[in-house]
């Protein structure tokens, strides 16, 4: 995942002020959903708040299965990407590599995290956290094109303690990220669902998923066009998903599906040619019944 190319593509996500989103969420409809997340996954729960331009998060947590609850307090849209530092590297090494536009291979592994819920919204992702040193970052850029990580939305996280046994989250839906496609079941039933996402070992770059509920009569292509043009109201609502996941990595998230049309998008620009993965096939519409 290259900093500059990713930033370029994520620039298009910026004006997701998502008025519609905010209205729905202002009613506090998520209180019950949160209780259910905890019930579903016997995970540690870590709450992270993002706002212009900082994260509120603990500096140290225990190892084990961890549900990150991410609240976007806005006003700009934010997300949370969790990186594990490898081979004794530090957050300074990580930032230096990004500044120099060097690949993060050998420095950090992208483990995903809650993707953008839109300002005022909440998203979640559950990851297996081992002891070690981590970096939390938001790559979404401001209207000036500068990604939030360069404005202060980066924070170290230490995971310390006795190794916890690996736990599997029971998932209802499996989505595999390939170069360049989403593999998923044909049928998705309405209800609160746990989705396991996995970047296949054969993938040559990191992928992400943004889950959107499409407005009546709108298509995922229209949503992708809107992301690039930002003209008029968005043709749907952003429901989180999972941020960049390196090949071989997996994570789960939960979402509440109502009957209707939904879309998956991976707008990460390719490290090969800068073209967004959506244009290479990582865009998919499906019906929830
Ligand atoms: Cu992708």
* pLDDT above 70 for 245: yes
d(CA 119, CA 17): 6
Q: What is the pTM of this model?
A: 0.85
pLDDT at residue number 202: 97
In the numeric block, the tokens 């941020």 are attached to: 243
Q: How many domains does the chain have?
A: 1
Going from the Cα of 18 to the center of ligand 1, the distance in angstroms, rounded, reads: 23
Alpha helices, H only, 72-219: 91-99
Going from the Cα of 199 to the center of ligand 1, the distance in angstroms, rounded, reads: 9
Tokens of 210: 């943004």
> Domain residues for 7?
3-288
Going from the Cα of 31 to the center of ligand 1, the distance in angstroms, rounded, reads: 31
Going from the Cα of 209 to the center of ligand 1, the distance in angstroms, rounded, reads: 8
pLDDT at residue number 23: 35
Whether the CA torsion 221, 237, 8, 244 is positive or negative: it is negative
Going from the Cα of 204 to the center of ligand 1, the distance in angstroms, rounded, reads: 10
Going from the Cα of 100 to the center of ligand 1, the distance in angstroms, rounded, reads: 23
Over the chain, what is the mean pLDDT?
Answer: 86
Domain containing residue 177: CATH number: 2.60.40.420
Alpha helices, H only, the chain: 3-10, 19-26, 31-40, 91-99, 220-229
Going from the Cα of 5 to the center of ligand 1, the distance in angstroms, rounded, reads: 13
Among residues 255, 250, 24, the alpha carbon closest in space to that of 123 is found at 255
Maximum mean pLDDT: which of 15-24, 25-34, 202-211? 202-211
Q: Are 253 and 113 in contact (CB under 8 A)?
A: no
Query: Is residue 230 very low, low, confident or very high in pLDDT (cuts 50, 70, 90)?
Result: low
Going from the Cα of 278 to the center of ligand 1, the distance in angstroms, rounded, reads: 7
Going from the Cα of 180 to the center of ligand 1, the distance in angstroms, rounded, reads: 6
pLDDT: which is higher, 217 or 162: 217
Going from the Cα of 45 to the center of ligand 1, the distance in angstroms, rounded, reads: 27
d(CA 71, CA 78): 9
* pLDDT above 90 for 152: yes
Task: Give mean pLDDT, residues 157-182.
Answer: 92
């Amino acid at each position: 995942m290259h900093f500059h190319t990713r930033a370029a593509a994520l620039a298009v996500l910026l004006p997701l002020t998502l008025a519609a989103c905010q209205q729905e969420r202002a009613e506090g409809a998520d209180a019950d959903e949160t209780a259910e997340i905890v019930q579903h996954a016997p995970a540690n729960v870590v709450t992270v708040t993002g706002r212009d331009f900082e994260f509120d998060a603990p500096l140290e947590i225990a190892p084990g299965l961890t549900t990150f609850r991410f609240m976007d307090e806005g006003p700009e849209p934010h997300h949370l990407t969790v990186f594990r530092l490898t081979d004794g590297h530090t957050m300074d090494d990580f930032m230096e590599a990004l500044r120099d536009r060097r690949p993060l291979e050998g420095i950090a592994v992208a483990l995903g995290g809650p993707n953008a819920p839109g300002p005022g919204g909440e998203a979640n992702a559950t990851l297996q956290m081992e002891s070690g040193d981590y970096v939390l970052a938001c790559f979404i850029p401001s209207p000036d094109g500068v990604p939030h990580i360069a404005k202060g939305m980066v924070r170290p996280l230490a995971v310390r303690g006795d190794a916890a046994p690996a736990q599997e989250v029971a998932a209802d839906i499996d989505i595999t990220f390939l170069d360049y496609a989403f593999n998923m079941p044909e049928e998705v039933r309405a209800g609160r669902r746990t989705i396991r996402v996995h970047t296949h070992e054969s993938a040559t770059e990191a992928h992400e998923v943004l889950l959107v509920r499409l407005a009546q009569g709108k298509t995922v292509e229209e949503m992708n066009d809107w992301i690039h043009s930002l003209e008029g109201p968005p043709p749907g609502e952003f429901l989180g998903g999972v941020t960049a996941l390196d090949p071989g990595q997996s994570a789960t998230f939960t979402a509440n599906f109502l009957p209707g049309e939904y879309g998956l998008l991976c707008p990460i620009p390719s490290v090969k040619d800068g073209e967004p993965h959506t244009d290479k096939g990582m865009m998919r519409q499906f019906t929830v019944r």
